[in-house]
Amino acid sequence: MTGRFSAGAPVPTDDRPNEECGVIGVTSPSEEVGELVFFGLFALQHRGQEAAGIAVSDGVQARLHKADGLVGQVFTPAAMSPLQGMNGIGHTRYSTTGGVGTRNAQPFLVETVHGPLAVAHNGNLVNAGELRTELLTRGFGLTASSDTEVMTLMLASAGGPTWEDRVARTMPAWTGAYSVVLLVENRVIAARDPWGFRPLSVGRLADGGYVVASETCALSTLGCREISEVLPGEIVTIQGDTVRRRQALVPAVTPARCTFEFVYFSRPDSVWDGLSVHGVRQRLGEELAREASVVADVVVPVPDSSIPAAVGYARQSGIPYNDGLIKNRYIGRTFIEPTPVMRKRGVAMKFNALTENLAGKRVVLIDDSLVRGTTAGPLVQLLRDAGATEVHLRITCPPIRHACHFGVDMGHDDDLIAAHLTLDELRDVVKADTLGFLSLEGMMRAVGRDGGYCNACFTGAYPVAAGAPRRKDSFERVLGAVPG
């Protein structure tokens, strides 16, 4: 596609860390699982909007469909029809290693001497470059530029009498973040890195089958009960109405769960580390009100992820809460590239201001993060244009000063505005009357944990040695993507 209709061209108005990916695996003793995987992916759509894929096995043959686009665009009735079987996995993608393009879409499906193997992965291996080089040296051919393909080929060539043994033998070679699901002939296998960076949970279906997914919201959507986390370093096998658990690696002494799951990524109706995401977000707002109070007339969130925090800020501060920005929820990804005139409108394509709630008011604007600084300034101006007399910007996490190496695309150090500017300079850039960030201590008080979380994007203290920063398209040297 060319001209104005360019495949997957996102509207460049968002200044957020981008979603990582979502994975799901389903097994059932009594029904086809294709539709269950499909609806589970719908519940995980917020984790990635670049591509989606489903692989299903009938016990003999595995079938795969994947393509660029949203879940509802990729899986038409015609595409779903061949996906027949009692075991299946799915993936919704935002690229963190490997460039944008169908060839990097997941799951990856290969034939092995042990039967079919499909793999879908959420996270990022910090040693993917070394593993990739080793595979090439051993004579493997690579068709994509994703670390997930590297994981797939390593598993396909691993020794061991069972797939669970091959996974257990391969996991020590993977350094970094991985919540991974595998589809083999007659079952689904899930595994999680020993640091527990990315979420992964398992639950039981009403018919006795099982589901494993990145977030509990997907399990709840499918009616699961008996929900529990896949433990760091654990392998979980689901097959029909049975579940088997195996501790393959000793969990890290200090876990490294991603705090940003609470701040932004996870859906508010999910549970992460036994905690309600919605509840933590409200407490983030309460802590922010304690640390960065201001005299104002109204508290307004940047929808949607900041709404619970704004409720918490209003409750703690006593300042009334109200809507001030209305979000166009369908502009986040479009297959129609905006014209230059519309591109200049920027944030106005995604948000409209409610003048009646803002005119003549001193506004506390609550947002979840400040990354590149490209959206905050236009949002502040949008409120001023609607008649706000003062705009006080409050951020529900500390300043992001360091890149993430574990599956969150928030740019590199050069892209992060807080890495180079003081608080006063940041305030001047976004043109707010005042600017306040939640402290690291306040954020962890809201979470309610003393430790066990990765806060490297705030502190620079990485729980795993990550080496030199690598851009997500760094493996595109030979296999260049063809423009859409």
Residue 98 has pLDDT above 80, yes or no: no
The predicted pLDDT at position 374 comes to 83
The predicted pLDDT at position 80 comes to 97
- Strand pairing partners for 213? 24, 201
Residue 471 has pLDDT above 80, yes or no: no
Cα(270)–Cα(280) distance, integer angstroms: 11
The predicted pLDDT at position 415 comes to 80
CATH topology classification for 21-256: Glutamine Phosphoribosylpyrophosphate, subunit 1, domain 1 (3.60.20)
Cα(183)–Cα(206) distance, integer angstroms: 21
Of residues 21, 224, 258, 454, which has the active-site annotation?
A: 21
CA distances to 159, 173, 175, 249 from 170, rounded to whole Å, are 9, 6, 11, 11
Percentage with pLDDT > 70 across the chain: 87
CATH topology classification for 274-450: Rossmann fold (3.40.50)
The strand pair at 257-258 and 453-454 is best described as parallel
Cα(229)–Cα(224) distance, integer angstroms: 13
The predicted pLDDT at position 33 comes to 97
Residue 358 has pLDDT above 80, yes or no: yes
Residue 12 has pLDDT above 90, yes or no: no
Q: How confident is the model at residue 402 (pLDDT cuts 50, 70, 90)?
A: very high
224 is catalytic: no
> Which residues contact residue 445 at a Cβ distance below 8 angstroms, ignoring those fewer than 6 apart?
283, 287
Residue 409 has pLDDT above 60, yes or no: yes
Work out the average pLDDT over 317-331. Answer: 89
> Which of 175, 173, 171 lies closest to 236, judged by CA?
171
Q: How confident is the model at residue 101 (pLDDT cuts 50, 70, 90)?
A: low
The predicted pLDDT at position 72 comes to 94
Convert the pLDDT of each residue in 195-209 to its tens digit. Answer: 999 999 999 999 999
Residue 124 has pLDDT above 90, yes or no: yes
Q: What is the pTM of this model?
A: 0.89
Domain ranges for the chain:
21-256, 274-450
Convert the pLDDT of each residue in 415-432 to its tens digit. Answer: 899 999 999 999 999 999
